[in-house]
Structure 1
Amino acid sequence: MRPYCLLCHHCYQPRVSWSDLLTLKKGDCLCATCRRSFSLIDSDICSDCGRPLDHLDHSYRDGDVCNDCLRWQNDNEWKGVLAKNRSVYVYDDVMKEVISRWKFRGDYAIIEAFRHDVCRVFSHHFSSESVLVPIPLSRERLYERGFNQAKALAELLSLPILDILERDHLEKQSKKSRHERLQMENVFRLRMSLPLEKPLVIIDDIYTTGATVRHAAKRLRQAGATDVSSFTLARA
C-alpha cells in the first residue's frame, strides 16, 4: 500500500535506494513535489547568523558577515553573546505555511518532514558533545498550543536536552519590530544551575532578528556558560 504525503495528502511512490534498504531507513514522508518545495540553506551563508548570502546585495554585507550581524557585533551589550546561528531552511512562503500548520493548527506529525534535514545540518555545524537548550513557551502559550515546537525539534537530535529556561508571558514576538524586541526586558529566567563544561546550543523554530536567541544566550552567559550558539529550523 502506497503512503500519503504528510503535506498534500496525495498518494505517492516513495523513492527507496539500496542504502535505504541496507540501513532499514524509513522512506520520505513527503512526495517529491512537496520535498522540492522546501528551500534548504546550502549555499554561502553569513558566518554569524547563517543567513543565505547568494541573493544579498554586497552593500548589505561585509565579506561573509551580513549587516544585521555587524550591528550586533558593534553593540557592546550584545557583542559575543551568541557564537553563531545555523538554520536548515529559508523561511519563505512555503515554509511559513508549513510551520503555521505545524505550530498553530495542530498538525504535529509534520515534524517528521524535518527530521532528516535537521539531523544532517546540525551534525555538520555542531559537536556531538553539545547540550540542547530549547527556547521555552510561557505556561499560557504552552496551554494554548499543546506542545513546545523548540523542544520537539530538539528531540529529533537524540542529544541531551536541558530544560533550564523559563519564559514570562508577553505579546507574541512576531508582532514586534527589531527595536521593540531589543528594548524589552529579558523574558527568560533560569530554573536550575548550569553545566558549564559542555557547549550549549539554543534550539528554536525561526530566526528572524536574532533577538530571542540572544536574550536566551545572554541569560546563559550570565550564569557562566562560555560556549553558546543557536540552531533554528528556518532563517527569515
Structure 2
Amino acid sequence: MGDKFSSLEWLPDLVDRTEQPVQHRSRNFEVLSSLRRGLTVVLDALFPHSCPVCNELVQCDGGLCLSCWQTLELISAPYCERLGVPLHYDLGPNAWSAAALVNPPDYDRARAAVLYNGPARELVKRFKFYGEVRLSRFLAKCMLNAGAELVSLESFLVPVPLHRSRLRQRTYNQSALLVKEIGHHLGGRVLLDGMVRTRKTHQQVGLKRGARTANVGGAFHVAEHFLPLVSGAHVVLVDDVLTTGATVEECARVLKAAGARQVDVLVFALVDPENFSADNG
C-alpha cells in the first residue's frame, strides 16, 4: 500500500472541520483515534508489510526484519573526525584516519549511518533505482544519530542535485527526500533547490576515482536565490551514499567558493576507502 493508506493521514479530511464545542471535539478526536487504530489493524492484516531486503513479513512498513537489521553494519565511535569512517582503535578525540591525512577532502566532516554493504546496498538500490520512496523514512531515521552531530538550527540542509533530465527519468531526487525527513526531525533550514546540476554526468558506478572526479568537474552551481545566504553559512550536504566523495567534494568546492564557512556531509551509507571498488554506488 502507498504511504497515504499506510499512515491513514487521509482520514481527518473526510470529517466536518466546522468549529464545535471543546467537549465535542475531544469526543470526536477519541472516536477518530479509535477508528484509525481499527483501520490500521485491518489494513495490516489485509496488506502485511515485508522486509524490503528479504521480503520476510514485518510489523511496520519500510522496516527491516530482525535478521537483516542485525547484519547492518552501523557506524559508531571510534571513527575518523574528517571522513567518518570507522577506526580500528580509539585514537582519542578528533582523530583522523590515514586516508584523511594523506588526502584530506574539500568538505569539513562526513558522517554516515552504516557501511555500504549487505542490506545497506539493497536498501539504497531499491530506494534509488526502483522507486521505493517509502524507504526515505527508514533511511533518514537511521541517519538521525549521525546527523545530530552536524545539524543545528542555523544549518542549511541541501540535497545533492540531479540533472533535470535524470530527474524527469527518475521522477524524484532521493537526496531531497532524505533532506525533508531529516529537516523534520533535526531542524535546520531545508533548501531543496540550493544547488543546481548544470551538466549531465555519467553514472558514477563503474568509474575509478580519477574518472569520478573528472566526471563531476564543473557540474554544479549554487542556485541564484541561495547566493545571498551562503556567505558565512554552515551547509550540510545530504546524499544516499558516499563512495569516493568526488560528487560531494565538487559541491563543497563550489559552496566554499561562494562563501560558505563550513560544508559537512551526511549520508545513509559510506563505502570504506579500504574496501573501495569501482562497482560501488
**Normalising by the residue count of structure 2, what TM-score does the alignment of the two structures yield?**
0.68
| Structure 2 residue corresponding to 1:156, chosen from 176, 181, 184 | 181
Quote the offset at 1:54 in angstroms: 2.6
User: 1:207 touches 1:234 (CA, 8 Å); kept in 2?
Assistant: yes
CA apart distance, 1:47: 1.2
- Alignment size in residue pairs: 212
Contact kept, 8 Å, 1:206 with 1:233, in 2: the verdict is yes
2:113–2:143: 8 Å Cα contact kept in structure 1? yes
Give the deviation of 1:36 after TM superposition: 2.2
**Percent identity over paired residues:** 27
Q: Which entry has the higher C-alpha Rg, 1 or 2?
A: 2
How far apart are 1:231 and its partner, in Å? 0.8
Q: How far apart are 1:43 and its partner, in Å?
A: 3.1
Contact 1:102 1:111 in 2 (8 A): yes
Partner of 2:241: 206
The 5-angstrom pairing of residues 116-127 of structure 1 reads 116-127=141-152
Distance 1:11 1:97, change over 3 A: closer
Partner of 1:97: 122
| Aligned-partner Cα distance in 2 for 1:132–1:154 | 6
Partners of 2:168 and 2:208 in 1: CA distance: 26
**Paired residue for 1:69, among 100, 120, 124?**
100
Instruction: List alignment gaps of at least 5 residues for structure 1.
Output: 15-26
RMSD of aligned C-alpha atoms?
Answer: 2.4
* Larger relative helix fraction: 2
C-alpha separation in 1, matches of 2:70 and 2:228: 41
User: Is 1:113 paired with 2:138?
Assistant: yes
Which protein, 1 or 2, shows the higher relative CO under an 8 Å CA cutoff with sep ≥ 6? 1
Change (3 A) 1:183 1:114: closer
Counterpart among 199, 210, 217 of residue 179 in structure 1: 210
Instruction: Tell me, yes or no, if structure 1 residue 188 matches structure 2 residue 220.
Output: yes
Corresponding position: 1:11 with 2:57: yes
Matched residues in 1 for 2:164 and 2:62: separation?
A: 34
Task: Give distance in 1, aligned partners of 2:132 and 2:150.
Answer: 29
Deviations 1:170-189 (A, max 9, x none): 11122321112234432101
